Amino acid sequence: MDVIAILGESYDSLVEASVDKSPDEVVVTKDDEVFYIVSENDYEQTLASLGYKIIVNTGE
Protein backbone atom coordinates (compact mmCIF):
# COMPACT_ATOMS: atom_id res chain seq x y z
CA MET A 1 0.00 0.00 0.00
CA ASP A 2 1.50 3.30 -1.13
CA VAL A 3 -0.17 5.92 1.05
CA ILE A 4 1.82 8.74 -0.56
CA ALA A 5 0.37 7.87 -3.97
CA ILE A 6 -3.16 7.84 -2.51
CA LEU A 7 -2.74 11.17 -0.72
CA GLY A 8 -1.21 13.09 -3.63
CA GLU A 9 -0.68 16.83 -3.29
CA SER A 10 -0.85 18.30 0.20
CA TYR A 11 -2.54 21.57 1.13
CA ASP A 12 -1.65 23.79 4.07
CA SER A 13 -5.02 25.53 3.78
CA LEU A 14 -8.37 23.82 4.27
CA VAL A 15 -9.99 26.56 2.17
CA GLU A 16 -7.69 25.85 -0.81
CA ALA A 17 -8.27 22.11 -0.56
CA SER A 18 -12.03 22.63 -0.35
CA VAL A 19 -12.02 24.84 -3.45
CA ASP A 20 -9.84 22.44 -5.48
CA LYS A 21 -11.76 19.24 -4.72
CA SER A 22 -14.43 17.92 -7.05
CA PRO A 23 -17.93 17.11 -5.72
CA ASP A 24 -17.18 13.36 -5.56
CA GLU A 25 -13.98 13.76 -3.51
CA VAL A 26 -13.36 14.34 0.21
CA VAL A 27 -10.76 16.38 2.08
CA VAL A 28 -8.94 14.44 4.79
CA THR A 29 -6.34 15.20 7.45
CA LYS A 30 -4.48 13.36 10.15
CA ASP A 31 -3.11 16.32 12.09
CA ASP A 32 -5.51 19.21 11.32
CA GLU A 33 -2.61 21.06 9.69
CA VAL A 34 -2.09 19.34 6.32
CA PHE A 35 -5.02 18.43 4.09
CA TYR A 36 -5.41 16.03 1.16
CA ILE A 37 -8.04 15.55 -1.53
CA VAL A 38 -8.85 11.87 -2.07
CA SER A 39 -11.66 9.72 -3.39
CA GLU A 40 -14.19 8.52 -0.86
CA ASN A 41 -13.30 4.96 -1.84
CA ASP A 42 -9.59 5.46 -1.05
CA TYR A 43 -10.54 6.96 2.29
CA GLU A 44 -12.82 4.09 3.23
CA GLN A 45 -10.50 1.32 2.02
CA THR A 46 -7.17 2.65 3.28
CA LEU A 47 -6.97 6.00 5.02
CA ALA A 48 -9.69 5.58 7.66
CA SER A 49 -7.80 2.69 9.22
CA LEU A 50 -4.62 4.81 9.30
CA GLY A 51 -6.16 7.54 11.44
CA TYR A 52 -7.17 10.04 8.76
CA LYS A 53 -10.49 11.82 9.18
CA ILE A 54 -12.80 13.52 6.71
CA ILE A 55 -12.93 17.30 7.07
CA VAL A 56 -15.02 18.06 3.94
CA ASN A 57 -17.46 15.43 2.65
CA THR A 58 -18.51 14.74 -0.91
CA GLY A 59 -20.94 17.28 -2.27
CA GLU A 60 -19.75 20.05 0.06
Task: Answer yes or no: is pLDDT of 60 > 90.
Answer: no
CA–CA distance, 18 with 28 (Å, rounded to integer): 10
Cβ-Cβ contacts under 8 Å for 39 (sequence gap 6 or more): 24, 25, 26
Stated pTM of the model: 0.94
d(CA 15, CA 47): 21
Q: How confident is the model at residue 59 (pLDDT cuts 50, 70, 90)?
A: confident
Alpha carbon separation from 55 to 11, 24, 40 (Å, rounded): 13, 14, 12
* Spatial separation of the C-alpha atoms in residues 32 and 2, rounded to whole Å: 21
Is the pLDDT score of 51 beyond 70? yes
Q: What is the pLDDT of residues 1-47, one digit of tens each?
A: 689 999 999 999 999 999 999 999 999 999 999 999 999 999 999 99
